[in-house]
Amino acid sequence: MTNFLELYPRLVVEGAEAALDFYTAAFDGEVSERYTGPDGRIVHAMVVAGPVRFAVKDADQYDAAPTGGGVIIALYVSDPDEVAARMEAGGATVVFPVADQPYGERAGRLADPFGHLWMLAARTPAHATS
């Protein structure tokens, strides 16, 4: 049987340099890996924010940037209001404001300036999992 070892999203964007600036500021992260092609465009950059990591790359003839919808990235954080505010300050658009939800989370959804949707959430104490 195959063991699954790792899974991370790889975000394709138009303008990876600007996207890396946005993501590191919004998520208080850092770029841990960065590779560029001969044309200077980013072919792979890994963003690390606490235990969370995801890759970013420039769109090219093989990988297109999103044109809308499809995947919503669910990111659980200790303070979704704070992260949403940082995202908005960087140019993200609120789809659903962060609010207490009847299913036991404080959550909201934002669209980043590069076409990706993010659900920011924190489980409320009564619904937290260990």
81-118 tens-digit pLDDT:
999 999 999 999 999 999 999 999 999 999 999 999 99
pLDDT of residue 21: 98
The total number of structural domains that make up the chain: 2
- Look up the domain containing 76 and give its range: 66-130
Whichever domain contains 45, its CATH number is: 3.10.180.10
| Domain annotation covers residue 1 | no
Give 46-88 pLDDT, tens digit per residue: 999 999 999 999 999 999 998 876 789 999 999 999 999 999 9
| E strand residue ranges, 1-116 | 10-13, 30-36, 42-49, 52-58, 72-76, 93-100, 105-111
| Domain annotation covers residue 3 | no
Q: Are residues 74 and 39 in the same domain?
A: no
Contact 86, 25 (CB under 8 A): yes
Q: Are residues 85 and 55 in the same domain?
A: no
| Domain annotation covers residue 20 | yes
Report residue 125's pLDDT band, with 50, 70 and 90 as the boundaries. confident
Whichever domain contains 118, its CATH number is: 3.30.720.110
What gap in Å lies between CA 130 and CA 121, rounded to an integer? 16
- Note the pTM of the prediction, 2 decimals: 0.88
Report the candidate in 5, 41, 38, 13 with the shortest Cα–Cα distance to residue 112.
13
Report residue 24's pLDDT band, with 50, 70 and 90 as the boundaries. very high
Does pLDDT of 130 surpass 60? no
Q: Are residues 83 and 101 in the same domain?
A: yes
pLDDT of residue 37: 95
